[in-house]
Structure 1
């Protein structure tokens, strides 16, 4: 039996040209491992990596493969592409399923017939692994059951839910051989002396934070209860990535350091087993002690990313961050003192934010001096808590970087202001000198990619679409 899994990454709005890296679809890799363990031959395509191929080209490739099972992972902005791909593949594959954080929000459209054809035969709701495991006997027969928890089969159908997977160790290791070496780009600094070959790892699931702007899709998929894999299994996965030629890892957990005790145990096992490769992770903007940061550094931690969001305590309160400017300042200093590079996420344009408070944010960025700064314009995602607080700002066409429609003049001003800050920050002698001192070897080792990224960033700073 043959399965084809596709991450449908086409569809960014033409105006959404903020420089970015891409992240491997770990949920697809996890499902691939389940299928492979059951004897299926699995291919995984990521249209993000094949962005030069238009939709019809991908459709013809699917038709040529004629898989017994096609699993599509749509993103919110790729709904149309997913529908076209699913319908075009109807006569050329056995069953078509959709899954992923955005799939439940697109399920009705994907399952609504158009000219007697739906885009998919079913949608996996929530964590897909348990449902996929139970579906294996039916999939082997190219059939779907009439009813199954976690499986939506019709637009108006609300399937019975499944409990979140408590024992993540029971799942097989994700099929890293389908991801490592595929060309995923990672744009945060890592202490890699050689051409970067990044691997991605999901070591935990769940996030209980209540940030007002957060898109709920991931939270709906993984829940708010924090669950993690055992340290040895995570180290096994890093070893596997290294065997496949990977030389760095990005932990894509929503909140990697929720449990400092868990992080310490993982770092100790990495050191004991001598699996030391550079890695990065997302943490909260406070709560990491000097002792833990030093241990993380010895275990390979190269870069930490956190959402500082604002230089104003009042705005942080509006965003429900549960952190103060002083705590962010302290955590940034501790991270730097440990020799770990810092990526800072910030938001401008929060409703009610004054021009003076926005300037406080720019000044605060200059003060804590992250190695990478990402400035986002406030936006409202479908289902986010901010929808209730600011319903007039919601528009489905909005994206993470361009913001919703309806505030065109303000958004244009914010975007112009943001680009000017980027240009000033990244070309300052202080920043250039610090970056070259720390990163001259990785920059030289990855010169073609770095120059390409610098060129795209320069176009963005200059406002060139």
Structure 2
């Protein structure tokens, strides 16, 4: 069977992984990161963002492909809410959850509607078959595109999976609900074989993925420092230490040896999901970490010669002006090397989504107009907080940073776009799961 795997905008690891599994099952597979080229009659689309469900381009592609007699299957993180996927995009099938077993069975049975782990539309409405259990993390090599060297995801050609699962319970995050809270780690030899293949295909930098990189081979959430240090050391021996990164780390998942390994065997950056400078909001977010722990982690990284980036979320339904000011104080007091600010997006089937559904729009910062110092810019409260935080983060980075008109306008355009997308996702959520 000839199959096209499409991963919009970027080649996600999941798309490459499923492409490799189909290839190893005997299918002829090609992979693309856009809808511009010719595709086979069988198309598998890997979607990782709720925003994809609102894409006219994706919707039109699927409509045209099916009208021509093709079959369209959708998988990826959006499959956690198949009713929305089918309602918005109308594919033939949705593969629910981890697809390593479901996808090859679906293809080998000629698209049977009687197998587990799928959803589809028939005359009775949307049918959702029982989910499968967690898939094995033992598998062959992914299908790596020829132009992988041209891709840059925060500087990396690709994020490769070293383990699945997250011990955290952040209310805004889908990862522990999609992959579970138990840590399933891959065999080191398999990971290294994959690293070699990525290098052979032209990848210039690889990043460790898995939610929290330092939890590789963790047992009951406890560090396995030897395993993590060995992982980075062996990967660096293949790619070179300047071509490996392990950025995503929880502030409570570091140690002296972990930080030393990141310094010695990677590009020397750590990316913390700090999210807020308010302990009250961190509790509401289910972060399981405190502001003090975040502060200690930042200074520990500095002591080990590492650069530190942090992500922050504004516009949480319970965030007050005082909470926001505490977050701004954290940024100005820690002079992060980089900061990423986003407006809280309610990903379906998360506790944050449940909270948003219960919050009137008139009380949600994503909708309420800002009447403070940025009133003339006509921003919502969430957008104004994002704009203000990004400006302060830029001004307080180490070294001299000047906020020019160009920088100002770029931040302004970015927060407006972010706000629009989050409101669109929120309206989609209300459409399918609200009770207004």
Q: Please list every run of 5 or more consecutive structure 1 residues that lacks an aligned counterpart in the other structure.
A: 10-22, 48-57, 113-117, 188-195, 396-402, 436-453
The 3 A distance-change label for structure 1 pair 387 and 134 is closer
Partners of 1:387 and 1:207 in 2: CA distance: 19
Name the SS of the counterpart of 2:190 in structure 1. Answer: helix
**1:168 matches 2:168:** no
Secondary structure in 2 matching 1:291: helix
Separation (CA, whole Å) in 2 of partners of 1:235 and 1:388: 41
CA distance in 2, matches of 1:3, 1:200: 24
Q: CA deviation at 1:266?
A: 1.2
**Which of residues 84, 96, 99 is equivalent to 1:125?**
96
Query: Residue 380 of structure 2 aligns to a residue in which SS?
Result: helix
Check conservation: 1:282, 1:305, Cα contact below 8 A: yes
Cα shift at 1:385: 0.9
Pairwise CA RMSD of aligned residues? Answer: 3.1
Shift of 1:405: 5.2
The residue correspondences of 1:231-270 to structure 2 (distance < 5 A) are 231-258=188-215, 259=218, 260-261=223-224, 262-270=227-235
- How far 1:370 sits from its partner (Å)? 1.8
- State the 1:99 CA deviation: 0.9
Q: TM-score, normalised by structure 1?
A: 0.74
Q: Match of 2:77, SS?
A: coil
How far 1:331 sits from its partner (Å)?
1.0
Shift of 1:284: 0.4
2:66 equivalent among 90, 96, 107: 90
2:112 corresponds to which residue?
A: 145
Task: Give the distance between the partners of 2:180 and 2:360, measured in 1 at CA.
Answer: 24
Q: Answer yes or no: is the 8 Å Cα contact 2:314–2:385 preserved in 1.
A: no
| Deviation at residue 151 of structure 1 after TM alignment | 2.1
The Cα of 1:92 is off from its aligned counterpart by: 3.9
Does the 8 Å CA contact 2:5/2:32 hold for their aligned counterparts?
Answer: yes
Measured in 1, the distance between the counterparts of 2:256 and 2:165 equals: 26
Deviations 1:12-59 (A, max 9, x none): xxxxxxxxxxx5311111111012223333222223xxxxxxxxxx47
SS class of match (2:246): strand
Query: Pairwise mapping of residues 55-454 of structure 1 onto structure 2 (< 5 A)?
Result: 58=35, 61-62=37-38, 65=39, 67-74=40-47, 75-80=49-54, 81=56, 82-92=58-68, 94-107=70-83, 110=86, 119-138=90-109, 143-154=110-121, 155-165=125-135, 167-169=136-138, 171-178=139-146, 180-181=148-149, 183-187=150-154, 198-214=157-173, 216=174, 218-258=175-215, 259=218, 260-261=223-224, 262-270=227-235, 276=241, 277-393=243-359, 406-409=367-370, 412-427=380-395, 431-433=398-400
Quickly say closer, same or farther: Cα 1:220–1:38, change in 2 above 3 A: same
Contact 1:232 1:266 in 2 (8 A): no
CA distance in 1, matches of 2:148, 2:80: 28
Query: Distance in 1 between the 2:412 and 2:237 partners?
Result: 48
Contact 1:425 1:431 in 2 (8 A): no
CA deviation after TM superposition for structure 1 residue 300, in Å:
1.9
2:433 aligned partner: none
Q: CA deviation at 1:462?
A: 4.2
Matched position secondary structure for 2:128: coil
Report the CA distance between 1:210 and its aligned residue.
Answer: 1.5
Question: 1:281 deviation in Å?
Answer: 2.5
Residue 427 of structure 1 and its aligned partner are, at CA, apart by 4.1
Aligned counterparts of 2:369 and 2:19: Cα–Cα separation in 1: 43
- Conserved in 2, the CA contact under 8 Å of 1:3 and 1:40? yes
CA shift for structure 1 position 96: 1.9
1:461–1:306 CA distance, 2 compared to 1 (3 A): same
